[in-house]
Structure 1
Amino acid sequence: MDYKIARHNMVENQVRTNKVTDPLVIAAMEEVPRELFLPENKRGIAYVDEDIPVGGGRYAMEPMVIARLMQEAGIARTDVALVIGAGFGYTGAAISRVAETVVAVESDKDMAMAAEKACQALNYDNVIVVEGDIGAGYAKQAPYNVIVFDGAVAEVPNTILDQLSEGGRMLVVVHAPGKVGIARLYERENGVVGHRDLFDANIPYLPGFEPAESFVF
């Protein structure tokens, strides 16, 4: 399989056709070999326009959603970004082509090791993969100019919102039970965090951020 052609077709048919016009985002999607950030048995479907299950209840988010979140974040070359739920590392790698530094936190040891290995193989040395509780973010390096969740959440945790810098942007798909998932932009201005909804995005939940179970009597 010619992955370079598949990657180009992904950009032309999935990314550009879904309102992604930022040249830096498009260049990042053209550059990063998505197949290297997936388990070997999934590499043949690396460029399909859907979420790819990668084990342990985790999914590689579809490329179009990643590209749109990156564009809405307005990432600058001087930005430090945090990725919540790095998985095998693709989202962090894509953001690293635009931002100055990316901290990608992942609770699964094997996934964190695979993400780090893939980034090292490509000399993406501005990506720091941290094994740790994704529900806590990574306060040690906070605040961050950009925070991106690599999966949907039922509710946005204040613990991670608190790690957003003044002028910072957080992009996350909020998927409340029984409702359509919505990509949402949070921004901190003058110490106050506000948000606005961007577009529909029905992606799977990031483990640990699912809706709380309700009891039925």
Structure 2
Amino acid sequence: MVESQIRPSDVTDRRVTAAMSAIPREAFVPERLATFAYSDDALHVGPDAVMLSPTVLARLVQLADINPDDAVLVIGGCSGYAAAIVAQIAKSVVALLPDRVSATAVASACRSIAIDNVTAVAGVLSEGWKAQCPYAVIVVEGGVEAVPEALKSQLADGGRLVAIEVERGLGHAFLLQKTGEFFVRRDTFQAAAQLLKGFESPKPAFVF
């Protein structure tokens, strides 16, 4: 997977390629999908739950430029694979899942391969996880139309948020960096992702 999919896709960060070589992707997918674990496709791992393709995830993690002493919040995905990859690079990871069943499954999968720096929690994805903020990095494993203010407020000064903006089925990854009270955005590569619940653009109020 790394040699045929990841490296040819402009992923040059050796920490990312090493992490994806070390972590067995099949440990984070349902048994029915095990034979597809290393295909470069997004996998539907549950109702309204999509795991990003390995290439898209690798490029998103590379874009975040995670440091060894960083505390990272990984949101969505439902499989825990992204959190496991990030955990090979960062100091600590909070994996925020939409329900306790998913959180328990992610915690179990991490234990099964001796990952001890991931804390799996359940909550509303768009609200983030205040208990352990601020975060140096927030990785949103999925599509967004807008970044909720709650997530922006949980970034440390200098912190980075990466996600995939989607509109009418099209998408592109972007980096949002916090500097003081300001946020600087940089759009990068094209990518597809399923829109996460709670990350829709605010709808204008109807006026009579």
Secondary structure at the aligned position of 1:182 is classed as strand
Q: Which residue of 2 aligns with 1:157?
A: 148
Query: How far off is 1:206 after superposition?
Result: 2.0
What are the Cα deviations for residues 23-70 of structure 1, in whole angstroms up to 9, with x where unaligned? 101100101111010111111100111100111111111011111111
Q: Which residue of 2 aligns with 1:3?
A: none
Alignment match of 2:185 (pick from 181, 195, 201): 195
1:72 counterpart = 2:80: no
Identity of aligned residues (%): 40
Runs of 4+ in 1 over 3 A off after TM superposition: 210-215
1:140 counterpart = 2:131: yes
Q: Aligned partner of 1:59: which letter?
A: V
Q: Aligned partner of 1:202: which letter?
A: A
Q: 8 Å contact 1:86–1:104 — kept in the other structure?
A: no
Secondary structure at the aligned position of 2:141 is classed as strand
Q: Which residue of 2 aligns with 1:181?
A: 171
Secondary structure at the aligned position of 1:93 is classed as helix
Q: 8 Å contact 2:49–2:77 — kept in the other structure?
A: no
Tell me how far apart the structure 2 counterparts of residues 130 and 201 of structure 1 sit (CA, whole Å).
27
**C-alpha RMSD of matched pairs (Å):** 1.6
Query: How far off is 1:13 after superposition?
Result: 1.3
Unaligned runs of 5+ in 2: none
TM-score (norm 2): 0.94
Tell me how far apart the structure 1 counterparts of residues 30 and 199 of structure 2 sit (CA, whole Å).
23
Q: 8 Å contact 2:25–2:81 — kept in the other structure?
A: yes
Unaligned runs of 5+ in 1: 1-9
The number of residues matched between the two structures is: 205
Q: Aligned partner of 1:89: which letter?
A: G
Q: 8 Å contact 1:58–1:207 — kept in the other structure?
A: no
Query: How far off is 1:211 after superposition?
Result: 5.6
Q: Which residue of 2 aligns with 1:169?
A: 160
Q: Which residue of 2 aligns with 1:209?
A: 199
Query: How far off is 1:108 after superposition?
Result: 2.2
